[in-house]
Amino acid sequence: MEPRASVAKIKREIAAQFPKEAQVVDAQMEYFDVDAYDTWIERFCDTTNEAMANRDEQVVQAHLSFVSRQLAETDLEGRRAIDVAYAENLMWNLDPEAKNWAWPRIPVNLQQLYADRWSSAKL
């Protein structure tokens, strides 16, 4: 089994589900190792944050529900990657109004990871 197989699987499944976003992220990963899965997932989170800033309900819901399902279905290694690379970066650099818009749209399991890291919703 490949090292970090569950994290690699999450990355592949995100890329398959969101090819447009994957193309953007892949372009940013030119100078990273092929197996820099955490960085790739973090950059994918940036596309979620951009959709939040733009109040793009459809994209936000698609990203969040997909990652939430991944979190529920993966192993400990995958959960750690989603926690550190995705949940901790949610709403990064959003203004307070955008955070207030985004927070209720975040599934409870991702909200919990976010709140565990930041001690609150930081709204």
Where are the chain's structural domains?
A: 5-118
Task: Render pLDDT for 13-52 as a digit per residue (tens, 0 to 9).
Answer: 999 999 999 999 999 988 888 778 999 999 999 999 999 9
The model's pTM is 0.91
Q: How far is CA 112 from CA 20, 99, 107, 119, 121, in A?
A: 28, 15, 9, 10, 9
Give, for 7, the enclosing helix (H) or strand (E).
helix 5-17
In this prediction, residue 104 carries a pLDDT of 96
Q: Is the confidence at residue 64, as pLDDT, over 50? A: yes
121 — pLDDT class (breaks 50, 70, 90)? low
CA-CA-CA-CA torsion sign (103, 107, 108, 111): negative
CB contact at 8 A, 44 and 21: yes
- CA pair distance 122, 84, nearest whole angstrom: 17
Q: Are 96 and 52 in contact (CB under 8 A)?
A: no
Model confidence at 11, in pLDDT bands (50, 70, 90)? Answer: very high
Least confident of 5-14, 84-93, 109-118: 109-118
pLDDT at residue number 122 = 56
Instruction: Answer yes or no: is pLDDT of 61 > 90.
Output: yes
